[in-house]
Amino acid sequence: MWRVSVSRDWDVLGPFPIQAREQHYLSPSFPLNLSEPVDFDAQWSSSYADGGTVGWSTARTDETGTLEVSFPDIRWSSLRATEGWAALQHHTVLHTRVTVFPPTSAAARASGLEVPENIRVSLLQGSFFALIPSSPDALRDFVPEWHAGNIYAMSRSPAATVALPESPAATHPTTYDLYVSGDYEIRLFGVPRDGSETPKLSITISATFEWPLFLPMHYATRESSHDVTCDFVDGWAFGDSIGIGMRSISGWWTAKDVTLLNSADVSRCDATSIAPVLVGETRIAPTQTRIIPVRLIQTERFTKSELRLVLHLSLDSGGRGEFLIVIPIRQHPQWSSTTFPPTGIKASYFFASMMPTAFLVTPPEEPNVGEPRPPVLALHGAGVDIFELPFWIQALPRQGRSWIIVPTGRTPWGLDWHGPSAQDAWSSVEALHIILKNRESWHPWAIAENTRVLVVGHSNGGQGTWYLASRYPDKVIAAIPAAGYIKSQAYVPLIESRSAHYIDPALRAVLESSLTPDDNDLFLSNMADMPVLAIHGGDDDNVPVWHTREAVSVVRTWNPRANITYKEDSGEPHWYPTVFKNEQVEEFLRANLERESGHTAVSNYLIDRSFTLTVSIPSESGSLHGWMIHSLSVPGRLARINVRMKDGTLEAHTSNVKTFSMPLPLSPLPVKFIIDGQALSTDSFDAHAEADVLFFSNKNSTWSVSPTLSESITTAEVIPGRMSSILTSSASLIIVIPDKSPSHWLSAALRLAHNLNVYHKLDVEIVGDTEAVRDLQDGWSKPGNIVILDDGQGGFFQALLDVRRTPIEITHQTLRLNGRNLNSPSTSALFLHPHPSETTSQTLFMFAPGRAELERTLRLFPIRTGVAVPDWIVLGDTDVTGAAGVVGAGVWGNDWSWNEAMSSF
């Protein structure tokens, strides 16, 4: 049999200063050029080392494949004395060898087994890795394919399928070079905890072949780690969705049907009480892992401990496969005032209409009396797997009449409770409403539709609490952020940036504008009227305690009479069991949950007081006291409305606001209504007295009033503001690739799909250009955001650009941006574009004329927070100076127009 081995001996080059997430702009092999032989005796400049240079050293993995890398000769304490713990951020290049061994016996070699093309590599806590040929001749014109590692070491993540850079020999071992980008991140590894000042990078790597190896036909396999299930309560599913994890080892497979197993051990009652139905046909690309969405339709109680199904798949090239699927079922009795599952009830729903997703809930002690109470939305910290670590569902005491809802945020890390993670949090709340509504016996425990919530969270979840409460203040009755950091740039400062030494500050400002929507401190005006209990351990060595102190100070600056309390627990670390289980927290929960209704209510702003609404991206923000900003004068910049009612006069002062709305009816009506010094007649209000909301639009510095949004703003005007919005999709993401060879296009799509699976459990469908063009001609009915990988020659790529919805066009296979040619053979670009049919979805173009350009664009796909990529970005031919290799970047203007104020080109 063929086998593969990773050498335990490693070469190590570093450390090099780097800011958090900068490895997405910098070549993973920096400072090396892997298209030429590497000199292992060379020295390289590094400001961290005495003398200013570093060379190669060696390290060795232990028996488990774990490699620990540290640099004790670096004077880390001296660096920290001036640079803080951001000085611990650093980049290293790691090198070893992978050897593929052919069968040793003549019989095995003569058996006709195919020569392997791929291996499966698992890299935990490393950034990127690549396999390259060992022979110098093979390096000529070779472009490494960089695969993202599982840097967060998240469980239930598939290994990466990696194509061997050249075919292995059938008669003797073949050796390849393996390079790893090892990046020490403070948020991930923290400060050294072994009593020394030296940071230690710890990564684990392994490589295997598929088993069974190289069957003479295409085949698929189960990935049970990706199964999604729900619990049953009193015999009834607590949710309507399950997911079946499947992976294609080779060939294009399509899930066609799912049925109950027809066997003697299934009684007639069980066979008719529950029916599985595919949500839709799901096609799996070669080596791709997908979760097949199945809806459960239940008519009677189901009391078995497992659900036995048969999944029917077909192969595009012909052939069929059937897989026995056994789904374990956890059964619970109906909860009561004294009994409930201590580790929570697992519920399920379809995230973004077709992605099976689970979350946990703790039921209240008593049913509703009067209107439903708001639930508690509890956001976990980074790296906390809520299904494997029950401490989080148990961190909060069970409430009298309020549910506790614990969403996943897509994965234990997710997107820091922003983007799809925030979408998952709100969707879990709505899913619980639907689950309770659909079962009559659960109606006494129902929560209101579009209910408001009390948000609580710890660490990254504490940061997420600041985020959700300040972006959607009318949906939150109160907040308890514990040990939360203000924003990523304050948590780990960007002072060690390599890019900063070379980049035009104007370009840097445009790039970093894509971080503005995540900067919680800028939006705390929205929480100035909200009850807040902010908590932090006094000796927190993970998130410094000053973060919460400063956030509280900012809120009090906006409103000196703010209802915000700061609770600092002296001597306590980052996490401690009583962080929420104490009298002060319990009283805060009781007082706010019992006082407020879950139904949406807009507090009366017509009193002698003022408030300020702050918004960065309108589509990622809600209302404050019913006021809402819908579009900006200059997208990419912050917008604010300051509202003040005094002596019958309502004054609104705006900054960078193009369109906003306010609630009606006004009672009593103001005597005067003034916006930015312009007095509006109250006749405008009388004319629309039957409307619930009035919309205000600014054109040529003059405000006008309308009863409908459509008269004030078109949907096309609302642009994303940053590239990470592509992750927030209404359905599975669709990746379109050229049909033509070579296969690097499919490899790129599969790597993106793999990363979206690992980091966000977001589903991806891969389609070819011909199929996409045909669907476009038929009207494009597929929901969800689209990602296009192309060199500019694809029919779908050209068809969408021919509509000329943005300042980017293509002529004779030459891309033009705002009339300027991007005709360098080494220039690539990423840019957002309107969706071909849905106004609420969008398209991301990833234009790469060559393989090296494709690798640079793939690394900038915003898979993590902190990757600063606005609406469009043009890349040059170098990535050794980080973001300074960017040719231009910017944010689109309204209606996807050119935005001179927010462009650097």
DSSP string, 220-232: EEE-GGG-B---E
**Residue 82: burial class (beta carbons within 10 Å; 0-12, 13-18, 19+):** exposed
**Residue 664: burial class (beta carbons within 10 Å; 0-12, 13-18, 19+):** middle
Of 458-467, 656-665, 863-872, the poorest mean pLDDT is in 656-665
pLDDT band at residue 602 using 50, 70 and 90 as cut-offs? low
For residue 609, what are the contacts with CB-CB under 8 A and spacing of at least 6? Answer: 644, 645
Average pLDDT for 219-237:
96
Residue with tokens 């929901």: 783
849: nearest Cα among 137, 143, 139 = 143
Judge whether residue 272 has pLDDT over 80. no
Average pLDDT for 223-242:
97
Question: What is the third-level CATH fold of 335-483+519-601?
Answer: Rossmann fold (3.40.50)
Q: What is the pLDDT of residue 264?
A: 46
Judge whether residue 598 has pLDDT over 80. no
Residue 863 amino acid letter: I
Cβ atoms < 10 Å from Cβ of 327:
19
632: nearest Cα among 705, 753, 719 = 719
Average pLDDT for 337-354:
96
Q: What is the pLDDT of residue 571?
A: 97
Q: What is the pLDDT of residues 737-772, one digit of tens each?
A: 999 777 899 999 999 999 999 999 999 999 999 999
For the entire predicted model, the pTM comes to 0.96
215: nearest Cα among 460, 377, 510, 1 = 1
pLDDT band at residue 811 using 50, 70 and 90 as cut-offs? confident
Q: What is the pLDDT of residue 33?
A: 93
460-471 and 419-437 helices, crossing angle to 10°: 80
The number of C-alpha atoms within 13 Å of 334 and in the hemisphere containing its C-beta is 11
pLDDT band at residue 608 using 50, 70 and 90 as cut-offs? low
Of 188-192, 210-214, 334-338, 804-808, the poorest mean pLDDT is in 210-214
> How long a stretch of residues is the chain?
905
C-alpha pair distances (Å), 903 with each of 139, 507, 631, 817, 873: 38, 8, 18, 11, 10
**In what side-by-side order are the strands of the sheet with 453-458?**
345-351, 355-362, 404-406, 376-379, 453-458, 476-482, 532-537, 564-569
Residue with tokens 């995230």: 351
Residue ranges, CATH 2.60.40.10, the chain: 218-334
Residue ranges, CATH 3.30.379, the chain: 723-904
Residue 334 amino acid letter: Q
Question: What are the beta bridge partners of residue 274?
Answer: 298
The number of C-alpha atoms within 13 Å of 286 and in the hemisphere containing its C-beta is 15
The residue that leads in pLDDT, 596 or 462, is: 462
Average pLDDT for 230-253:
96
Query: Residue by residue, what is the 3-state secondary structure of 158-191?
Result: CCEEEECCCCCCCCCCEEEEEEEEEEECHHHHCC
Average pLDDT for 121-144:
92
CATH code that applies to domain 723-904: 3.30.379
Average pLDDT for 637-650:
91
Share above pLDDT 70 across residues of the chain, in percent, rounded to a whole number = 93
pLDDT band at residue 159 using 50, 70 and 90 as cut-offs? very high
The number of C-alpha atoms within 13 Å of 221 and in the hemisphere containing its C-beta is 13
The residue that leads in pLDDT, 657 or 647, is: 657
C-alpha pair distances (Å), 546 with each of 541, 570, 592: 11, 13, 26
Residue with tokens 């598929």: 210
Alpha helices in 658-717, H assignment, sequence order: 683-687
pLDDT band at residue 269 using 50, 70 and 90 as cut-offs? very low
Q: What is the pLDDT of residue 678?
A: 95
Q: What is the pLDDT of residue 256?
A: 97
Q: What is the pLDDT of residues 2-41, one digit of tens each?
A: 899 999 999 999 999 999 999 999 999 999 999 889 999 9
Q: What is the pLDDT of residues 412-438, one digit of tens each?
A: 999 999 999 999 999 999 999 999 999
DSSP codes, 632-674: ESSTTS-EEEEEEEETTEEEEEEESEEEEEEES--SSPPSEEE
Q: What's 445's DSSP letter?
A: G
Q: What is the pLDDT of residue 693?
A: 86
Share above pLDDT 90 across residues of the chain, in percent, rounded to a whole number = 82
Residue with tokens 């993401």: 733
Average pLDDT for 395-400:
95
The number of angstroms, rounded, from the C-alpha of 168 to the middle of its chain's C-alpha atoms is 37
For residue 82, what are the contacts with CB-CB under 8 A and spacing of at least 6? Answer: none
Q: What is the pLDDT of residue 215?
A: 54
Average pLDDT of the chain to the nearest whole number = 92
Judge whether residue 879 has pLDDT over 80. yes
Q: What is the pLDDT of residue 421?
A: 98
**Lookup: tokens for 169:** 């020999």
**Lookup: tokens for 706:** 């309308």
Judge whether residue 604 has pLDDT over 70. no
Alpha-carbon span 713 to 660, nearest angstrom: 10
The residue that leads in pLDDT, 385 or 212, is: 385
Judge whether residue 262 has pLDDT over 80. no
Average pLDDT for 456-484:
98
Q: What is the pLDDT of residue 4?
A: 96
Alpha helices in 358-503, H assignment, sequence order: 419-437, 460-471, 488-491
Judge whether residue 607 has pLDDT over 70. no
Alpha helices in 537-582, H assignment, sequence order: 546-558
The residue that leads in pLDDT, 212 or 626, is: 626
Residue ranges, CATH 3.40.50.1820, the chain: 335-483+519-601
**Lookup: tokens for 751:** 């790597």
Beta pairing class for 733-737 and 693-699: unpaired
Alpha-carbon span 349 to 405, nearest angstrom: 13
The residue that leads in pLDDT, 272 or 880, is: 880
Alpha-carbon span 802 to 792, nearest angstrom: 12
For residue 308, what are the contacts with CB-CB under 8 A and spacing of at least 6? Answer: 260, 261, 263, 266, 324, 325, 326, 327
- Asked if residue 256 lies in contact with residue 280, where contact means CB atoms within 8 angstroms, the answer is no
CATH architecture of the domain with residue range 218-334: Sandwich (2.60)
Alpha-carbon span 815 to 827, nearest angstrom: 10
Judge whether residue 829 has pLDDT over 60. yes
**Residue 689: burial class (beta carbons within 10 Å; 0-12, 13-18, 19+):** exposed
- Asked if residue 199 lies in contact with residue 15, where contact means CB atoms within 8 angstroms, the answer is no
Q: What is the pLDDT of residue 138?
A: 83
Q: What's 407's DSSP letter?
A: -
- Asked if residue 342 lies in contact with residue 394, where contact means CB atoms within 8 angstroms, the answer is yes
Rg (CA), the chain: 28
Question: What are the beta bridge partners of residue 310?
Answer: 259, 324
Q: What is the H or E stretch that residue 81 is in? A: helix 76-83
Alpha-carbon span 256 to 319, nearest angstrom: 12
**Lookup: tokens for 621:** 């923000």
Q: What is the pLDDT of residue 362?
A: 98
Alpha helices in 322-383, H assignment, sequence order: none
Average pLDDT for 246-261:
95
